[in-house]
A and B are shown apart, each in its own frame.
Chain A
Amino acid sequence: MDNMTDSLLETYLFETNSLLEQLDELLINAEKAGEFTSDDVNEIFRSMHTIKGSSAMLEFQPLMEVAHHIEDLFFFIRENGTSSLTEEQKSELFNLMFKSTDRLRADVEKVENNEPLSMNIDSFVNEINSFLNELRAKDSDDAAAAPSETAQTGSIAEPPQNLPDMDAPFIVHVFFEEDCGMENLRSFMLITALKDAGLEFSFIPEDVETNSDTSEIIAEQGFYLAFKSDKEAESAVKILNTTSNIRSYEVIERPCSSQKEEAPVKEQKVSSDEGTAAPAPAAKQPTAAGHAKQSLISVNLSKLDQLMAIVGEIVITESMVTASPELQNVKLDSFLKSARQLRKLTDDLQDIAMSLRMVSVSGVFQKMNRIVRDMKKTLNKDVRLTIVGEDTEVDKTIVDSIGDPIMHIVRNAMDHGIEEDVQDRIAAGKPPQGEIKLSARHTGSEVIITVEDDGQGMDTDAILAKAARNGILVKPEEEYSRKEILSLLMLPGFSTNQEVTEYSGRGVGLDVVKKNVEAIGGTVTITSEKGQGSCTTLKIPLTLAIVDGMEISIGKNVFTIPIANIRQSFKAEQKDIILDAAGHEMIKCMDEFFPIVRIHNLFNMTEGYSDIEDGILIWVEASDKSYCMFVDQLLGEQQVVVKPLPSYLNNFNIKHSGISGCTILGDGNISIILDVASVYTAAQEMF
Chain B
Amino acid sequence: MPDSMIHDETTEDILGSETTERFLTFMSDGLIFGVSTENVIEIITNYMIRPLPMVPDYIRGIINLRGQVLPVMDIRLRMNKPFREYTSTTCIIILEINSTLIGIVVDSVLQVQDIDIAGASPIPIENRQELTNAMISLDDGTVVLLLDCDAVLRI
Contacts and interface: CB of A to CB of B under 8 A. Distances in A.
Interface stretch (A84-92, A359-367, A582-590, A601-609): A601-609
Interface in A195-244: none
Contact of A668 (B53, B59, B64, B100): B64
Contacts of A312: 67
Contacts of A670: 50, 62-64, 69
Contacts of A654: 52, 54-55
A561 interface: no
A652 B55 contact: yes
Interface size grouping (class) on chain B? 20 to 34
Contact of A657 (B53, B70, B100): B53
A653 B155 CA distance: 12
B102 interface: yes
A632 to B, nearest CB: 15
Contacts of B155: 651-652
A310 B67 CA distance: 8
B122 interface: no
Contact of B71 (A605, A646, A664, A672): A646
A647 interface: yes
Interface in B27-71: 48, 50-56, 59, 62-64, 66-67, 69-71
Is chain A's binding surface mostly helix, strand, loop or mixed?
Answer: mixed
Interface residues of A, number: 31
B101 interface: yes
B110 interface: no
Contacts of B67: 309-310, 312-313, 316, 664
A670 B50 CA distance: 6
B153 interface: yes
Nearest to B102: A648
A557 B64 contact: no
Given A643-B69, A648-B102, A604 B56 contact: no
Given A670-B63, A670-B64, A648 B51 contact: no
A46 to B, nearest CB: 42
A312 to B, nearest CB: 8
B50 A649 contact: no
B32 to A, nearest CB: 26
| Closest 8 pairs (CB-CB, A-B) | A603-B53, A657-B54, A670-B50, A313-B67, A646-B71, A652-B55, A651-B155, A664-B64
Interface of A: 309-310, 312-313, 316, 557, 602-605, 643-649, 651-654, 657, 659, 662, 664, 668-672, 682
Given A652-B55, A659-B52, A672-B50, 13 more contacts: A312-B67, A602-B53, A643-B69, A645-B69, A647-B100, A649-B52, A654-B52, A654-B55, A662-B50, A664-B69, A668-B48, A669-B48, A670-B64
13 contacts: A313-B66, A313-B67, A604-B53, A646-B102, A648-B71, A648-B100, A649-B71, A652-B55, A652-B59, A654-B52, A659-B54, A671-B50, A682-B54
